[in-house]
Amino acid sequence: MPDLSILQSFELSEILSEEPDRCRLTLLGYLPSTWNASTDTENRRLRAIILIERNAFASEHVASFFNDLVYKAELIESTDIYSWFAAWISSQASEIKQPQGDVKINVICPATDVHVRKYTKQKSILVQETPELYRRIIAPYIANLPPERTRWVTEILAGRSEQDKVLYSSSDYIILPDMKWDLHTTDSLYLIAIARDPTLRSLRDLRGDVHLSLLTSIRQEAYRIVGDKWGIGRGGIRMWIHYQPSYYHFHVHIVNANHALPGMGMAVGQAHLLEDVIALLKINSDVFKVMDLTYGLGEQHGLYEPMKTAQSEVDWIS
């Protein structure tokens, strides 16, 4: 029967695919003929595809995760209450200097009730937001958010954190790697463009006569950066704006187009492609002020209950 000793003789010829979101690699190479006793080839190497996928961590052992499994951890970055580490779960992986580590560990401390709700598994409903509901429910909700929610953004924009990671800076916005990215795997490349204007909170605030130059500049600089640094050409990145966003300081997500994101990040309704936003603003400068927006809301979101109740006022048919 095949065993580890035969696997150790695997000769890699090509990486067929990298799927960081699934923690999986697909490899093409060769194994010795002794792998399969049914073959009639002797002393020849057999072409083989090997899929390597990290198993889910056993929930019954997570209490001792950091004591029993993690061999080494290095701080990647820390901004306000957010920190993230690269960690190795074997000494050998550390010794061969796997730069991204075996696992990436994000820490939020101190975590607020809002963070707990955000990361709690939850059911979602689809809601329709009219301009009137925005004025009556959404705008007051945003206005009453404590400044601490976006202090980490302020720290970056003020030049007090993450400055060694900034890829582009102007009087209007900056571009830097997002904390979701491991900073190494190009297929999962994830950057963020953050506007400097604190009054620009979400998609609803965009006006064509004011913000088209900002959005087109972000698009242009994003392509220049990924082209110069990673050789990614036109059409090689996907850029979008979330609504509702995870934090209310305007930002644009910039991600390798081949990165299949898990979860709600690219869900229809929540993610609005930058190209489409620019096109709509060219047609109507006030389009996001006057149009209805339909999106999913998780039951732990602060807007869930008021928006769920308000749906009785919305005529979904007309």
Place of tokens 């339909």: 294
123 known ligand binder: no
252 known ligand binder: yes
Q: Mark residue 80 as left, alpha or beta (left: phi above 0; alpha: psi -120 to 50; beta: remaining).
A: left
246 known ligand binder: yes
152 known ligand binder: yes
- C-beta separation of 259 from 21 below 8 A: yes
272 known ligand binder: no
Q: Which of 251, 259, 272, 301 is catalytic?
A: 251
162 known ligand binder: yes
Residue 115 falls in the annotated catalytic set: no
169 Cβ partners below 8 Å, 6+ apart? 175
User: How crowded is residue 8: how many other Cβ atoms within 10 Å of its Cβ?
Assistant: 7
61 known ligand binder: no
Q: What amino acid occupies position 288?
A: F
Round to whole Å and give the CA distance between 279 and 202.
Answer: 17
259 known ligand binder: no
240 known ligand binder: no
User: How crowded is residue 37: how many other Cβ atoms within 10 Å of its Cβ?
Assistant: 8
Place of tokens 């990040």: 265
Mode of pairing for the β-strands spanning 24-32 and 45-53: antiparallel
253 known ligand binder: yes
Place of tokens 């925005």: 134
For helices 274-283 and 208-230, the axis angle rounded to 10 degrees is: 150
181 known ligand binder: no
- C-beta separation of 269 from 294 below 8 A: yes
248 known ligand binder: yes
18 known ligand binder: no
- Where is the binding site, in residues? 152, 162, 178, 180, 242-253
- Where is the binding site for substrate, in residues? 152, 162, 178, 180, 242-253
Catalytic residues: 251
